Amino acid sequence: DALTVVLCGLVVICTLVVLPLLYETLLTIAAALGGEHLRHTQRAVRIARLLDMISDYSERGIQALVLGMIFGPIYVHYQEVAPLFADFAGEHESTAHIVLAHLLPSVWINSNMLYNFYRACTDPAGTPDEDRECATTCARCQRPKPPGTHHCSTCGKCVVDLDHHCPFTANCVGRANYRSFFLFVFYSWIATVYAFWLAATSHALCHEGRPELVCTQWRSRIYYLALLAIVALTSFLALMVYLTLVGRSFRTFMSGSRPDIYPNERAFSRLQLRLGPWRQWWKYLLPGLGDRTTIAGGLRAI
């Protein structure tokens, strides 16, 4: 069905995105076995460029899928779930209930999610200032490389406090745009909690056997999809908070390296350095209101 096609398409696109990483891994293994010359052959360079191009286009496809995953539930909400609540309430359904339980939460959650997704995709991750004096330089891009800076092979640039390169935003996540990425994940999590509440309520109503309710097969699927989404996003959001508190990036977490994000700061101080002062967190309730919170200096646009 349509859901299977979408999931298969997502798997294919994600596979295409990670092809350069897989190819680089194979070359690294070959070099360890004595085949260092393979990396520098003309054929290997051509293959690497081709895979990078395919990966770039695939990331754009993933961005389109993310937008579909945002707008799709909005459509399902007002096409499938909201009418069920109206059928259940019948004549007792009030306009205030529709506004408070469906319209306002949906507009608030989805506007924040879309805004922060846009910022996470377009905001520069933050590269070191070329005029900044530094004892070390990057061997790949020949630019200053202060502590905590790492080179992203996908973007071809050094990024301050590089967390990871995200295929869902087709952008690096670094010091300058970590807040936008975090807020996107946070509001995505709120969206899954809200969707699960709607799906669980409608799922329960449909299983009460009320003849006046029109229950479709999609409503049962929505319940299980929402449950799967809330488990996945809760785990990822908890991991992000944990890594921020302990001073580790997703990159060092995967590689097992030591903490490298504000290693000399305390846990809650790290959270404020990455998200802004806690007294201003209330501004993140509305899209764009908290954009002027202070970010550490020494950065320039990519």
Got the DSSP string for 163-219?
-EEETTTTEEE-TTTHHHHHHHHHHHHHHHHHHHHHHHHHHHHHTTT-TTS---HHH
Residue 179's pLDDT band, with cuts at 50, 70 and 90, is very high
CB 108 within 8 Å of CB 281: no
- Entry pTM: 0.79
- Greater confidence (270 vs 57) lies with 270
Interatomic CA distance for residues 218 and 2, integer angstroms = 11
Q: What angle do CA 186, 162, 50 make, to 5 degrees?
A: 105
Among the listed residues 175, 123, 190, the one whose alpha carbon sits nearest the alpha carbon of residue 299: 175
Tens digits of residue pLDDT in 249-271: 888 887 677 777 887 888 888 88
Query: Quick one: CA dihedral 242, 17, 75, 199, positive or negative?
Result: negative
Percentage of residues of the chain with pLDDT beyond 90: 16
Q: Is residue 34's pLDDT more than 60? A: yes
Among the listed residues 100, 111, 104, the one whose alpha carbon sits nearest the alpha carbon of residue 286: 111
Give the mean pLDDT of 190-200.
87
The predicted pLDDT at position 278 comes to 85
- Greater confidence (243 vs 215) lies with 243
The predicted pLDDT at position 302 comes to 37
Residue 114's pLDDT band, with cuts at 50, 70 and 90, is very high
Q: Which residues contact 181 (CB under 8 A, 6 or more apart)?
A: 116, 120, 163, 166, 169, 173
* 3-state SS assignment for residue 219: helix
The predicted pLDDT at position 189 comes to 94
The gap from C-alpha 112 to its chain's centroid, in whole angstroms, comes to: 14
* Strand-pair partners of 153: none
Give the mean pLDDT of 130-145.
76
Q: Is residue 132's pLDDT more than 80? A: no
First to last CA, the chain: 42
Q: Is residue 202's pLDDT more than 60? A: yes
The rounded radius of gyration (Å) of the Cα atoms in the chain is: 23
- Greater confidence (80 vs 178) lies with 178
